[in-house]
Structure 1
Amino acid sequence: MTSSITALGSGGGGAVRVRRATARDAKRLTRLVRTSRAYEAPYASMVAGYRVGPDYIEAHRVFVAVGADDLVLGFYALTLVPPELDLMFVADAAQGLGIGRLLVAHMKDEARAAGLTSVRVVSHPPAEGFYRSTGAVRTGTAAADPPAVMWDRPELEFPIG
């Protein structure tokens, strides 16, 4: 499934499309994760050695939002068993352009097509408001899991209708 919008905000104006990620996207997706400003300061350790490998891309439903010249603006990964939004990142320069909302809408369409009734999200704490604004409902808290994750995280669920 491919979706597209016209990018919003300053510097926008070009068509943005969502396509299935390929193994060739692995390095760009890894770079997007590791350089995300959302994971600075106390959260930096969480993504310091993180890798989105070709094997991960081929094993899961990974979709990428791209702009002009196939520039990666964001991506998400949906797992079906269990149903979970495993990863979602928007490039720092693309924040506020509607890319995150496009990716969530696309994820919901993919989940619906797969017959899912809900999708779980264990959120990065600063991203909870975004997920709630796109229809996710808080269901609990995922406890810290040192040394990988040193903080509690909001647990949410997207109802898929």
Structure 2
Amino acid sequence: MASSSTDKKGLFDFFYTRPYLLYSIIATFFVLGIYGLKTMPKNLFPDSDRPTVIVMTQVPGATPNVVAATVSKPIEMELSSLALIRQVSSTNIAGMSIVTAEFEYAKGLDAAAVDVNNAINKVRGKLPAGTNPSIYTSGSFTLPVDVFALSPKNGS
């Protein structure tokens, strides 16, 4: 028990008996901090989001299960095969498929949108007739804060 208190006291004594070493360490950290502050890039909207592309497809009158099986699944399968893809997910609601493809940072947003467009063109023949997928690019500044859906009362 006496050795642990002498270890703590030893570190204090080490710097107490060598004040210029302590001043040198503090000055080094201060200079490195000023250097980092001056050389670090500063952006109002830094590019911190992964490139994300959203594919929205309307299928009028279809149930969520039908939308998932006939639209979302083929699109997901094709997007999953793209280079530098990180995650593919989908949301299916009545008459609408929303497939989100998130890419790695190394893939630019424009390149990701082109790849998704090419993938959609490949799978277009497997989709139900009359569907036309729309492609949207997304960043944190383009995502909505809140979404509302309005529908009329039954029988009106």
TM-score, L = length of structure 1: 0.30
More strand by share: 1
Larger relative contact order (CA 8 Å, sep ≥ 6) = 2
